[in-house]
Structure 1
Amino acid sequence: MSEQSSTPLLDRVNSPADLKQFSDAQLGRLAHELREETIAAVSATGGHLGAGLGVIELTVAIHAVFDTPRDRLIWDVSHQSYPHKILTGRRDRMHTLRQKGGLSGFTKRSESPYDPFGAAHSSTSISAALGFAVARDLGGAPDYGIGDAIAVIGDGAMSGGMAFEALNNAGHLKKRLIVILNDNEMSIAPPVGAMSSYLSRLYAGAPFQELKAAAKGAVSLLPQPFQEGARRAKDMLKHMTVGGTLFEELGFSYVGPIDGHDMEQLLSVLRTVKARADGPVLIHAITKKGKGYHPAERRADRGHATARFDVVTGEQKKAPSNAPSYTKVFAQSLIQEAEADDKIVAVTAAMPDGTGLDLFAERFPARCFDVGIAEQHGVTFCAGLAAGGMKPFCAMYSTFLQRGYDQVVHDVAIQRLPVRFAIDRAGLVGADGATHAGAFDVAFLANLPGFVVMAAADEAELKHMVATAAAHDAGPIAFRYPRGEGVGVELPERGEVLEIGKARMIQQGARVAILSFGTRLKEVMKASEALTARGITPTVADARFAKPLDEELILRLAAEHEALITIEEGAVGGFGSHVAHLLAEHGVFDHGLRFRSMELPDVFVDQATQDEMYDVARMSAADIEAKVLEVLGVASVAQVRAAQTKG
């Protein structure tokens, strides 16, 4: 006798078109199966869990009502798209999620026609959806045409200014566009749930142009107790009563709030909007992050991101480490500096846990600021703090600092304000892939006049760089460090203030000098051991600074060696380019110096483990060894790699 499937409805789904055969009641049961499938998939691979669990019913309802991929469904950030991937023909590949050669942890155009727009940074969905809507109306309908454009955006992403720029433009253009606000932060009382249920029935039955009037009338008909409740719920009722919501002022028809976990409400409202919308519409759905999985619901971040875990207990399966993470070393070092200097403040953009500033906030709650997903504001806020006499540390991931680059140039660098940029997730980051790689910060910061740019080779160096930044008042300064654990070096009791623009010698050798910038130093030393065994001991130096360069040391290394190699965890145009420019200006190449630079390749490296990504980037110890042998004419890189592979 065969074992009965625990997902009988989901087993019948090969594409969203299959959802059309299900009754509304069956769609509700399908949502339950999809939730269990999502939990099981993420438990095996790790990844973003809570956001996806919060939109299970919404995902099923959208695909059941609309006709994807002709209707373009765009997930903001898209870390909540795992259930969407399961329903769109990728269920059998979920075990490859966020792994080399596997499914991306975000939507990706090259992965599926059901992913019309790639994402991983927030607040972009409404702009993209509006682009699809305008393209549709102008006849730019490639492939299978463009139907509706639907953007699903979380309330956190709505704190990004770009989202409101898009809302403003969409309201002005008056194109048919559907925006679903996935509100998972508001604590909503049962009376409001009852009210929203009543309103949804009115929405389904009334002509679409009368939705606003129906909402007004519904409130007046409710019993008095239903008009009380939580403070935020009362505020929402007030706004609906006067008909003056921000979204309506921006030109949107506002529908909601509705219960984002009630399949009946969702289907009713979505069907009505699909049938009657003739302009931009915003549907406000209340959801619960981590919904339906108790271990996620009870976590402070609602299971936002997780390693592999036990499905029953929710306990994460993390590999033990003897070294602290770079993020934790930064946070503890900053706390130590702030204890001695009450002018030090810390700013982050919706990433207090990721940057370690949650620890700083516990110690100094009045001196720590989370500005939301608003990097542009965060940078200029820091500029204002600096101009006002404070010592701001702007802690952001490298990939997110890109969003505030104009402010870095215009508001910080030009005014030479001493903002300290703590740049986390520098270099390749692993499972989050190209969208989160910190590849470009050295290139885009080191070309700015007056900027100091540092990179830590290990966790002890990071501690020194925090102290150096705290002491630096002459202008902006930045220090970068990677994702993950340190290399296990002993940490000093306190960080030392480094001399600006001075490198440190690690090892004296001959013939070839390797100048390392960042944490590839550990790979350089592994390569050095292999080279020494071949009778070639390289000179090794830790540059520490990409700007200003240690010109004296670099020119001396160039004069004393046949070859000079730079290595960095950044893109072309960064540290190596600045060194090459220095050497060229001093005519060093005229005297026969052989120079090579090793940096990230001119491609976006797809997700894998960090080590696998650096192998793809040709920046492992073996690759450094091969580069040295090639530049010295001992063997070609291809010959060395072939020998290494054979060995």
Structure 2
Amino acid sequence: MPAENTPKGHPATPLLDKIDSPADLKGLSDAQLTQVAHELRSETISAVSVTGGHLGAGLGVVELTVALHAVFDTPKDRLIWDVSHQCYPHKILTGRRDRIRTLRMKDGLSGFTKRSESPYDPFGAAHSSTSISAALGFAVARDLGGAPDHGLGDAIAVIGDGSMSAGMAFEAMNNAGHLKKRLIVILNDNEMSIAPPVGALSSYLSQLYAGAPFQEFKSAAKGAVSLLPPPLREGAKRAKDMLKHMTVGGTMFEQLGFSYVGPIDGHDMDQLLPVLRTVKDRAHGPILIHVITKKGKGYAPAEAARDKGHATAKFDVVTGEQKKAPSNAPSYTSVFAQALMKEAAKDDKICAVTAAMPDGTGLKQFAERYGSRCFDVGIAEQHGVTFCAGLAAGGMKPFCAMYSTFLQRGYDQVVHDVALQGLPVRFAIDRAGLVGADGATHAGSFDIAYLANLPGMVVMAAADEAELCRMVATAAAHDSGPSAFRFPRGEGVGCDLPEDAQPLEIGKGRMIREGSGVAILSFGTRLTEVEVACEALASKGIKPTIADARFAKPLDRDLILDLAANHEALITIEEGAVGGFGSHVAHLLAEEGVFDTGLKYRSMVLPDSFIDQASPRDMYDVAGLNAEDIEAKVLEVLGVTKLDAARA
């Protein structure tokens, strides 16, 4: 794309315009590769300003992305990005630049790596700490022959320091050190994940490049020092400076069987390129390259942001000001946080735990007020759940605040350490249902099914933000076993919030509207869509009964059996997969012999498929759970055709 033809508002990128694939980087000089990195950063900023998305992480790995694709032979060499929210520069370089301004949109590019999208995405990801395990799998498959079309290249994992805090990363390194396969792990150390990282590992990494012993090159060092280029060899313009900051031997990573190289400046191509070239040419066995980067690098508004521009709405490139739509109601997350703080003010046994998401779960506010009772365990959901179990066993009242999609990572602990022991851990499940631009990887589709099948578990879903306040109070008061309440991403419906929320009676729903013929039993925030559908049905002479279940477990048996006995048909609706609320209702009806009476029963759930990113409303259109779909389901179950309805 010649500079004179650069679209309005796009940066001028004369060298980048010549890059259609990583192969085009091979003939460029190191100075030209540096220039490509500058242009790539500008293009990334420009694209995300249009689409919104994860900005800071990608800006931090621009030079690393260029260097990796210039040195290695992707896609034959498998480049695996951990979490992969930093992959926008990678997508631009790998033939997807013409679609980069469709990121996270319906029918557009995914905001993460995705195997079906490109051969340059060998492994999909959006959850953390999977890259080393996957890369080791590729390395072993390579050495065993694999499928012929999979090639025989290197396996390279790029993992952030936040992701390295998860146990899975160390499980993979332990196995890799034992197998001794050639495997390249790049530790992208930016002292940030989403929030500042926590724990001993973060302190350890800081010491590796801040401690005085590591400011001198150790001439007697062992291990990976043999891989390093001597002064001026292989084009290293500042090799002497680079070697001053190299340290090997005696690191935790070496104890796990890895050769260690680093730390090196991840924004200096004169350091990155020779190290990567030497590792490519000479490495044997597993090796870890410790790269220091800066999240949000090169864009002042991102660098200045507390989260380093982790995730943004559309924004003005010049000012960095985000273009957020005006809010008419508080978010469910903020309502949860405020409700939890009210409960904590009344009960000093209440504490809160999150896994590297203090902002996303609203617990930052809680931490500011009750710092000694708020714990961020890092990206370690398994530990977080069992930590909560220990807190509960020790007499505290822990609220475990996690996204539905991330709680999946701690499921064995929910079963074995919480439910089996009947411990009163309260699970506050954010991002329930379909979440929009983050797509299938972040959808909260399965928590109803995977929690409601556990003995003794209380499972609630808030229909609106006022109900959420009541469910926080309910969980705080429920001490006889574990409980969970779920709520979606985004704004509430704008209802009045209770000043002093009172606990709900466990296992009791509520009637919303009395009708006849068909009853709709809603679990969660689809209740708003149910009410819209019923307004449309009323104009056709059909007036369904509406009820809010509140609880998937224990079920309100009396309410459900009454609805079944007094209506021709019963429809349940939920923002979850098959096997959840509707399945439990069906089981109850079957056990009670209700189906023998001729009741027509339908269960509206998420489809048996993963739904790609779009707006939440578009995703629920695909799922068939919007008001129009509910209206159509009522007509279908009553045997009313659209023509009959129109005539009515």
Instruction: Judge same fold: TM > 0.5, yes or no.
Output: yes
Instruction: State the match for 1:219 in structure 2.
Output: none
Instruction: State the match for 1:158 in structure 2.
Output: 164
Instruction: State the match for 2:50 in structure 1.
Output: 44
Taking a change above 3 Å as real, the CA distance of residues 565 and 202 of structure 1, as seen in their structure-2 partners, is farther
1:3 aligns with 2:4: yes
Instruction: State the match for 2:189 in structure 1.
Output: 183
Q: CA deviation at 1:195?
A: 10
Instruction: State the match for 1:108 in structure 2.
Output: 114
Instruction: State the match for 2:196 in structure 1.
Output: none
Whole-angstrom distance in 1 between the partners of 2:315 and 2:128? 26
Taking a change above 3 Å as real, the CA distance of residues 332 and 549 of structure 1, as seen in their structure-2 partners, is same
What amino acid is aligned across from residue 270 of structure 2 in structure 1?
A: E
Q: Deviations over 1:585-626 (max 9, x none)?
A: 000000100000000000000000000000000001000000
Instruction: State the match for 1:373 in structure 2.
Output: 379
Whole-angstrom distance in 2 between the partners of 1:284 and 1:399? 30
Instruction: State the match for 1:98 in structure 2.
Output: 104
2:154–2:183 Cα contact (<8 Å) kept: yes
Aligned length: 620
Q: Equivalences for 1:206-605 in 2 at 5 Å?
A: 210=226, 240=247, 243-605=249-611
Whole-angstrom distance in 2 between the partners of 1:201 and 1:586? 79
What amino acid is aligned across from residue 560 of structure 1 in structure 2?
A: N
What amino acid is aligned across from residue 357 of structure 2 in structure 1?
A: M
Whole-angstrom distance in 2 between the partners of 1:474 and 1:460? 24
1:193–1:259 Cα contact (<8 Å) kept: no
Whole-angstrom distance in 1 between the partners of 2:43 and 2:149? 31
Q: Deviations over 1:269-327 (max 9, x none)?
A: 00000000011000000000000000000011000000000000001000001100000
Taking a change above 3 Å as real, the CA distance of residues 568 and 68 of structure 1, as seen in their structure-2 partners, is same
Q: Deviations over 1:229-278 (max 9, x none)?
A: xxxxxxx99xx57x221110000000000000000100010000000001
What amino acid is aligned across from residue 186 of structure 2 in structure 1?
A: I
| RMSD between aligned residues | 2.7
Instruction: State the match for 1:79 in structure 2.
Output: 85
Q: CA deviation at 1:197?
A: 10
In structure 1, the residue corresponding to 2:320 is in which secondary structure?
coil
Taking a change above 3 Å as real, the CA distance of residues 451 and 115 of structure 1, as seen in their structure-2 partners, is same
Taking a change above 3 Å as real, the CA distance of residues 131 and 415 of structure 1, as seen in their structure-2 partners, is same
Taking a change above 3 Å as real, the CA distance of residues 201 and 611 of structure 1, as seen in their structure-2 partners, is farther
What amino acid is aligned across from residue 524 of structure 2 in structure 1?
A: G
2:208–2:214 Cα contact (<8 Å) kept: no
2:224–2:260 Cα contact (<8 Å) kept: no
Taking a change above 3 Å as real, the CA distance of residues 47 and 191 of structure 1, as seen in their structure-2 partners, is closer
Stretch of structure 1 that moved more, 1-10 or 519-528: 1-10
Whole-angstrom distance in 1 between the partners of 2:218 and 2:529? 60
Q: CA deviation at 1:462?
A: 0.1
Instruction: State the match for 2:615 in structure 1.
Output: 609
1:196–1:258 Cα contact (<8 Å) kept: no
Q: CA deviation at 1:146?
A: 2.9
What amino acid is aligned across from residue 585 of structure 1 in structure 2?
A: E
Taking a change above 3 Å as real, the CA distance of residues 145 and 2 of structure 1, as seen in their structure-2 partners, is closer
In structure 2, the residue corresponding to 1:120 is in which secondary structure?
coil
Instruction: State the match for 1:230 in structure 2.
Output: none
Stretch of structure 1 that moved more, 2-11 or 388-397: 2-11
2:186–2:291 Cα contact (<8 Å) kept: yes
Instruction: State the match for 2:40 in structure 1.
Output: 34
Whole-angstrom distance in 2 between the partners of 1:202 and 1:30? 37
Whole-angstrom distance in 2 between the partners of 1:620 and 1:44? 28
Whole-angstrom distance in 1 between the partners of 2:37 and 2:393? 53
Q: Deviations over 1:167-211 (max 9, x none)?
A: 0000000000000000001797999699989869999xx995635
Taking a change above 3 Å as real, the CA distance of residues 196 and 104 of structure 1, as seen in their structure-2 partners, is farther
Whole-angstrom distance in 1 between the partners of 2:452 and 2:572? 16
1:156–1:373 Cα contact (<8 Å) kept: yes
Whole-angstrom distance in 1 between the partners of 2:146 and 2:587? 46
Taking a change above 3 Å as real, the CA distance of residues 184 and 504 of structure 1, as seen in their structure-2 partners, is same
Instruction: State the match for 2:26 in structure 1.
Output: 20
2:523–2:551 Cα contact (<8 Å) kept: yes
Taking a change above 3 Å as real, the CA distance of residues 610 and 538 of structure 1, as seen in their structure-2 partners, is same
Taking a change above 3 Å as real, the CA distance of residues 531 and 80 of structure 1, as seen in their structure-2 partners, is same
Whole-angstrom distance in 2 between the partners of 1:459 and 1:73? 43
State the identity as a percent. 77
Give unmatched runs, 5+ long, in structure 1: 216-221, 228-235
Aligned partner (choices 127, 135, 139) of residue 141 of structure 2:
135
Whole-angstrom distance in 2 between the partners of 1:190 and 1:278? 23
Whole-angstrom distance in 2 between the partners of 1:131 and 1:388? 40
Q: Deviations over 1:520-556 (max 9, x none)?
A: 0000000000000000000000000000000001001
1:626–1:640 Cα contact (<8 Å) kept: no
Taking a change above 3 Å as real, the CA distance of residues 43 and 190 of structure 1, as seen in their structure-2 partners, is farther
2:129–2:169 Cα contact (<8 Å) kept: yes
In structure 2, the residue corresponding to 1:352 is in which secondary structure?
coil
Whole-angstrom distance in 2 between the partners of 1:199 and 1:180? 21
1:200–1:265 Cα contact (<8 Å) kept: no
Q: CA deviation at 1:4?
A: 7.5
1:515–1:564 Cα contact (<8 Å) kept: yes
Q: CA deviation at 1:558?
A: 0.2
TM-score by length of 1: 0.92
1:197–1:265 Cα contact (<8 Å) kept: no
Whole-angstrom distance in 2 between the partners of 1:195 and 1:575? 59
Whole-angstrom distance in 2 between the partners of 1:635 and 1:302? 55
Aligned partner (choices 89, 111, 114) of residue 95 of structure 2:
89
Aligned partner (choices 619, 630, 640) of residue 625 of structure 2:
619
